[in-house]
Structures are given as structure tokens and as C-alpha cells.
């Protein structure tokens, strides 16, 4: 074999090999694309060479804008510019500082041991509130005097007095009474409903006024309304069987399901121990605050177990006397309001 005879090309590296065609075509396309865009790429500056803008940036309407200088801080290609706050913002900030200092000297501001500094203007919100209350009292003094001087019945017949008493009484009720009797005066367990005509001590204007003035079982008022139900079970006045019999007798009075035999036995126990206050027919006695037992309107509930607990332990609800907290005009206004809720007599 002669030396100039060529060795056959390796099939694995041959361009004719189908496995190499895709890679060769990709390389050819990349070379053509690089040749096309080579003239459009600007030369990359050296790291220490500052970049000078080729032209001024144009803002809106073609107005030239100054280039923002750099602080020289750069991290990962992010440059920190030296861009100060607007002048108007800085002057506003300085003005708020001056205003705050002036406010500190003019008004109460710095807390001390017992009170804050009063300031040059000696402004006091408590004095302002007190002055507003005095102004309100002076403006309402004439009609309050008329409410006090008039009879309770006359107040409800005079449109002006009625309007004042209803509005003032409503505000007083929401402030002092709603916590127990409810915002809508519907009451709750242990707190009477003021919307119906079932009253413990009477529902006339005079009765309501007396109850509000002196309260019920208030130890601080010597003229308070007073009554006390015996604790028949706790004090051993009745045994459990007798209490159960009285419970069924009370259920029979109010038209609820009861045991006839126990109710008959309980009638005798009731007559000996309960009728003096609640009456033989269970109609109650408002003079003693003894509730009626012949209806299903109850203060604590009419379930058999609840009735047994009441008979055994004896309830002792307390209502405060309002004469020390409210003026006579306010008590009268509250009286008219409660009387007009729907159950007044």
C-alpha cells in the first residue's frame, strides 16, 4: 500500500453520520447569528472607566433632564444614586418639628410625677367638659324646674314636659338601668321586665317614683322598700316533701302541669306558710312586693326545680336607691320614661 493513500474517515466523527447532523446545524446557526449582531453590540468599557452618557435624557415634552449622580456605592450591578428629598418635603418636615415644639410649650404635653405640664395656654380638657356640663344644665334649668314643680300626672299631660322627660329619661335609663333590665327593658332572670303590667311594687307614676327614689332592700336608704321571703328549706321551716308539695300547688295555681295528690297536700302547707303574703288565690300583694303566683310571669323561672330552690333559699334581690346619684328632676324624667314603656298604670 502506498503512503499517499488516505485512511477512511472515522464514522463516529463523520458529518455524514446522522447522529451528528443536528449538532452541526445548531453550531452553524449560532455562528450566522453571532455574525449578524456583532456590529450592533457596543464595546464593553473597562471596569475603572466611567460611563459617560452619550446624550441627555429627555423627560416629558422633550425637556432635558440632568443625570442623577451616583454615590459610588454599587453591589451586584445595583448603583446607589445621590437623589435628595424634594425641597417642599424637607421644609414641611422642618415645619412639623417647629410646630411640635410650640405645641409642647403651649398645651399639656410632658407627663410629670403627679400631672402633666399645663402649658402656656393652661388648657384643661376636664375644665372644658365641666364648663360644657354647666352650660347644658343652665340651658335646661327652666324646664327641669318645671318638671320638679309639676305633679307627676301633669308632666304626662304637658307635651313639652313629656317630650323632655321622655328623652332625658331614655338617656338616663340607658346609662343607669340597662345593665340590669336590658337595653330594651325586657328584663332578665332575677331582673323585672318593665314592658308588661306585672309589677311587684306597683306600676303607677307614684309607685315607680318611690321605687326609683328609695330602691328595694337598699341598706343605705332608711326609707327603702323592704320585704323578705323566709328561707323555708335552709332554716328548716319545711322539709323536702312539704316543699315539693307546695311546688305542685303553685304549679296548679298558674295552670301548669302538676301532680294532683301532691298539689292537694301542698294547699294546706301553702295556706299555713305562704298565703299571708301571696294571698289565698296566689294574686300576690304589691304592698309587700310579693309576686302573683296565679300567672306564668315569673322573675326567676317557673320550672319545678327553680320553684323548689326559691322556696328553700328565699330570693333577696336588691335595687339601689337613686336619690343619692340622680337629681329629683332626673328621677322624675326616668319615672315618666319607665311608665311609658308599656306597662304603666
82 in any annotated domain: no
pLDDT tens string 193-202? 999 999 999 9
The pTM of the full predicted model, rounded to 2 decimals, is 0.67
Q: Is 108 exposed, middle or buried (0-12, 13-18, 19+ CB in 10 A)?
A: middle
Question: Which residue range(s) make up the domain with 165?
Answer: 142-223+322-343
327 in any annotated domain: yes
* Residue 274, marked binder: yes
* Residue 1, marked binder: no
* Residue 339, marked binder: no
Residue 327 and residue 215 in one domain: yes
Residue 183 and residue 328 in one domain: yes
* Residue 61, marked binder: no
Residue 196 and residue 330 in one domain: yes
118 in any annotated domain: no
Q: What's the Cα-to-Cα distance from 108 to each of 120, 149, 241, rounded to whole Å?
A: 9, 44, 71
Nearest to 200 by CA among 278, 285, 279: 285
* CATH number of domain containing 288: 1.10.760.10
73 in any annotated domain: no
Question: The C-alpha cell of 144 is what?
Answer: 327641669
Percent of the chain with pLDDT over 90: 67
Sequence-separated (6 or more) residues with CB below 8 Å from residue 100: none
pLDDT at 274 over 70: yes
pLDDT tens string 207-226? 999 999 999 999 999 999 99
Residue 308 and residue 334 in one domain: no
* Domains of the chain: total: 2
pLDDT attached to residue 23: 73
* Residue 12, marked binder: no
Q: What is the mean pLDDT of the chain?
A: 88
163 in any annotated domain: yes
Mean of pLDDT values over 306-317: 95
* Residue 277, marked binder: yes
Amino acid at each position: 500500500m502506498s503512503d499517499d493513500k488516505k485512511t477512511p474517515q472515522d464514522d463516529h466523527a463523520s458529518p455524514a453520520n446522522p447522529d451528528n447532523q443536528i449538532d452541526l446545524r445548531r453550531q452553524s446557526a449560532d455562528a450566522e447569528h453571532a455574525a449578524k449582531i456583532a456590529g450592533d453590540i457596543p464595546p464593553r468599557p473597562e471596569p475603572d472607566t466611567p460611563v459617560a452618557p452619550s446624550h441627555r435624557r429627555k423627560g416629558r415634552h422633550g425637556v432635558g433632564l440632568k443625570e442623577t449622580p451616583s454615590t459610588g456605592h454599587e453591589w451586584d450591578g445595583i448603583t446607589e444614586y445621590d437623589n435628595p428629598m424634594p425641597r417642599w418635603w424637607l421644609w414641611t418636615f422642618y415645619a412639623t418639628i417647629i410646630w411640635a415644639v410650640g405645641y409642647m410649650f403651649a398645651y399639656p404635653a410632658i407627663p410629670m410625677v403627679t400631672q402633666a405640664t399645663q402649658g402656656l395656654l393652661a388648657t384643661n380638657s376636664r375644665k372644658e367638659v365641666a364648663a360644657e356640663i354647666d352650660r347644658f344644665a343652665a340651658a335646661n334649668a327652666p324646664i327641669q324646674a318645671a318638671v320638679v314643680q309639676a305633679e307627676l300626672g301633669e308632666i304626662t299631660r304637658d307635651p313639652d314636659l313629656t317630650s323632655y322627660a321622655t328623652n332625658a329619661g331614655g338617656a338616663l335609663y340607658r346609662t343607669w338601668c340597662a345593665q340590669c333590665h336590658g337595653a330594651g327593658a325586657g328584663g332578665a332572670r332575677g331582673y323585672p321586665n318593665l314592658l308588661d303590667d306585672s309589677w311587684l311594687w306597683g306600676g303607677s307614676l307614684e309607685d315607680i317614683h318611690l321605687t326609683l327614689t328609695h330602691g328595694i332592700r337598699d341598706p343605705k336608704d332608711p326609707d327603702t322598700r323592704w320585704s323578705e321571703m323566709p328561707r323555708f328549706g335552709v332554716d328548716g321551716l319545711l322539709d323536702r316533701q312539704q316543699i315539693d308539695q307546695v311546688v305542685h300547688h303553685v304549679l296548679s295555681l298558674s295552670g301548669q302541669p302538676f301532680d294532683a295528690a301532691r298539689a292537694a297536700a301542698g294547699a294546706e302547707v301553702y295556706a299555713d306558710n305562704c298565703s299571708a303574703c301571696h294571698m289565698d288565690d296566689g294574686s300576690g300583694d304589691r304592698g309587700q312586693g310579693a309576686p302573683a303566683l296565679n300567672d306564668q310571669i315569673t322573675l326567676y323561672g317557673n320550672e319545678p326545680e327553680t320553684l323548689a330552690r326559691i322556696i328553700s333559699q328565699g330570693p333577696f334581690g336588691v335595687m339601689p336607691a337613686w336619690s343619692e346619684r340622680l337629681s329629683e328632676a332626673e328621677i322624675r324624667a326616668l319615672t315618666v320614661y319607665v311608665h311609658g314603656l308599656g306597662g304603666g298604670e
